[in-house]
């Protein structure tokens, strides 16, 4: 069983002080999906896939260890027809999967990275520039890179295997 709740769009943060970092995004769609079984993950994954068709190809996955980030990626890849095994790229940093409907899907895990220079070394901006789906676990170190439309998925685990997925789309930047 799943429960879906549309949340009010968060207010944009106050205007930033002049700095070289990008301006905040407008937050348009906010929703909370609560699932109490692995079967419910498919509905979360289907919703995210529907956003890919609206040019949201970068998905930022946040949550504590064991919250279900990689499990959600597995559900997404299964629905997209990926045939190879899906696993966390904690040590390799990036895994590539082939989807018959979406082409190459990049799955990234930045848990071990400490700063944006680490992202420069792996050519992170080149992955983002491909226009392919990028699923990014532990995305915090790359905040300055997310200048394109993207989806933020915050995952919280609760009692009895309940998972809350807070999904927010971010599509345009303030000028």
Condensed to tens digits (0 to 9), the pLDDT of residues 70-112 reads: 999 999 999 999 999 999 888 889 999 999 999 999 999 999 9
| Pick from 1-5, 72-76, 98-102, 115-119: least confident | 1-5
- Is residue 41 within 8 Å of residue 78, measured between CB atoms? no
Give the CATH number, domain containing residue 69: 3.40.50.300
**Structural domain that includes position 37:** 30-145
**Residue 23 in domain:** no
> Tokens standing for 106?
């990049």
- Is residue 51 within 8 Å of residue 151, measured between CB atoms? yes
Per residue in 28-61, pLDDT (tens digit) is 668 899 998 878 899 999 999 999 989 899 999 9
**What single DSSP character describes residue 57?**
-
The pLDDT assigned to 7 comes to 62
State the total domains in the chain: 1
Taking 90 as the threshold, does the pLDDT of residue 14 lie above it? no
**Residue 111 in domain:** yes
**Residue 152 in domain:** no
**Residue 92 in domain:** yes
Q: What's the CA gap between 105 and 131, in Å, rounded?
A: 10
Confidence band for 25, pLDDT divided at 50, 70 and 90: low
- Is residue 149 within 8 Å of residue 169, measured between CB atoms? yes
């Amino acid at each position: 069983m799943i429960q879906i709740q549309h949340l009010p769009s968060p207010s944009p943060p106050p205007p930033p002080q002049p700095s070289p970092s990008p301006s905040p995004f407008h937050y348009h769609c906010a929703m909370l999906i609560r699932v109490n079984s692995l079967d419910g993950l498919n509905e979360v994954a289907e919703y995210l896939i529907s956003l890919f068709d609206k040019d949201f190809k970068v998905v930022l996955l946040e949550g504590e260890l064991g919250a279900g980030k990689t499990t959600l990626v597995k559900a997404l890849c299964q629905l997209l027809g990926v045939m190879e095994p899906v696993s966390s790229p904690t040590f390799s940093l990036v895994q590539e999967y082939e989807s018959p409907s979406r082409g190459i899907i990049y799955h990234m895990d930045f848990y071990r990275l400490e700063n944006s220079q680490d992202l420069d070394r792996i050519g992170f901006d080149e992955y983002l520039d491909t226009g392919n789906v990028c699923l990014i676990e532990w995305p915090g170190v790359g905040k300055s890179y997310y200048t394109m439309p993207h989806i933020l998925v915050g995952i919280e685990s609760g009692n009895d295997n309940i998972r809350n997925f807070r999904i927010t789309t971010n599509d345009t930047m303030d000028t």
